[in-house]
């Protein structure tokens, strides 16, 4: 029981209920309109590189042992707090000029954090650059809402036609490269209102 009381999880130290009630009693008797209370965790001096200090804070905040935690798990899957995700985001940007969004912070894996702790900053920079590249490509995609029942995806007019249904994004931009290599007509069926009249 005593060991449970001293357990630190997600950067918050557990506190006994009667201790909370005593503090609440004092606060309710106070004349101040706004008050705050916290239990400060034991302070410890961290030694090592900037990378190891930053990653050590992550391990403490998540309450995990990096040696036993699988490398493929992401910070989001483990349950990183939003406040600490912001701290990590700002630390990466301030110290290493690595710019990633909060959602992308949650996609960082334990393996990437271990590499970063070992001084392999390039892996984290590569992760951020890949996200930036994906966003750039996505910005170049033209989202056109079709009003015709089908769209020709290549210029071939002879042969038995091949029909494509639209992928999840609803447009055929990702299939145009494939359609250009096919030696028969490729037709994309669009999700328009007239489609409900068609049969199989």
Q: Which tens digits make up the pLDDT trace of 67-97? A: 888 999 999 898 888 888 888 888 888 888 8
- pLDDT cut 90: percent of the chain above it: 16
pLDDT for res 183: 92
Q: Which tens digits make up the pLDDT trace of 42-61? A: 555 555 677 788 888 888 88
With bands split at pLDDT 50, 70 and 90, how would you rate the model's confidence at 10?
A: very low
Spell out where the chain has E strands.
Answer: 8-9, 12-13, 150-152, 162-164, 186-189
- Please give the Cα distance from 106 to 101 (Å, whole number): 9
CB-based contact 53:71 (threshold 8 Å): no
**What are the structure tokens assigned to 173, written together?**
């931009």
Boundaries of every domain in the chain: 1-43, 45-140, 150-197
Point out the least confidently predicted range of 101-110, 132-141, 179-188.
132-141
Point out the least confidently predicted range of 84-88, 128-132, 135-139.
135-139
CB-based contact 189:166 (threshold 8 Å): yes
pLDDT for res 50: 76
With bands split at pLDDT 50, 70 and 90, how would you rate the model's confidence at 108?
A: very high
**Higher model confidence: residue 42 or residue 184?**
184
> Could you tell me which residues come within 8 angstroms of residue 50 by beta carbon, excluding any fewer than 6 positions away?
95
- Strand order from edge to edge, sheet including 186-189: 150-152, 186-189, 162-164
Mean pLDDT confidence for 116-144: 84
pLDDT for res 9: 41
Q: CATH classification of 45-140 is 3.10.270.10, yes or no?
A: no
Query: With 80 as the cut, is the pLDDT of residue 29 above it?
Result: yes
pLDDT for res 182: 92
Q: Which tens digits make up the pLDDT trace of 31-45? A: 877 777 666 655 555
- Residue 14 vs residues 3, 4, 8, 37, 120: alpha-carbon distances, Å: 11, 8, 7, 13, 35
Q: Are strands 162-164 and 186-189 parallel, antiparallel or unpaired?
A: parallel
- Please give the Cα distance from 163 to 150 (Å, whole number): 9
pLDDT for res 46: 52
pLDDT for res 4: 43
Long-range contacts of 25-31 (CB under 8 A, 24+ apart): none
Provide the CB-side half-sphere exposure for 62 (13 A, CA). 24
């Amino acid at each position: 029981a005593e060991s449970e009381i001293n357990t630190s999880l997600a950067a918050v130290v557990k506190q006994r209920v009667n201790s909370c009630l005593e503090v609440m009693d004092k606060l309710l008797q106070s004349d101040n309109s706004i008050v705050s209370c916290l239990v400060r965790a034991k302070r410890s001096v961290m030694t090592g590189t900037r990378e190891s200090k930053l990653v050590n804070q992550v391990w403490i905040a998540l309450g995990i042992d990096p040696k036993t935690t699988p490398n493929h798990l992401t910070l989001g899957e483990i349950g990183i707090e939003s406040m600490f995700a912001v701290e990590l985001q700002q630390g990466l940007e301030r110290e290493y000029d690595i710019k990633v969004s909060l959602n992308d912070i949650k996609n960082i894996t334990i393996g990437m954090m271990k590499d970063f702790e070992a001084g392999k900053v390039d892996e984290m920079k590569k992760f951020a650059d890949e996200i930036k590249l994906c966003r750039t490509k996505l910005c170049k995609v033209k989202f056109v809402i079709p009003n015709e029942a089908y769209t020709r995806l290549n210029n071939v007019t002879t042969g038995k036609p091949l029909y494509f249904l639209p992928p999840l994004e609803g447009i055929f931009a990702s299939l145009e490269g494939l359609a250009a290599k096919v030696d028969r007509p490729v037709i994309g069926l669009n999700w328009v209102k007239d489609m409900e009249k068609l049969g199989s």
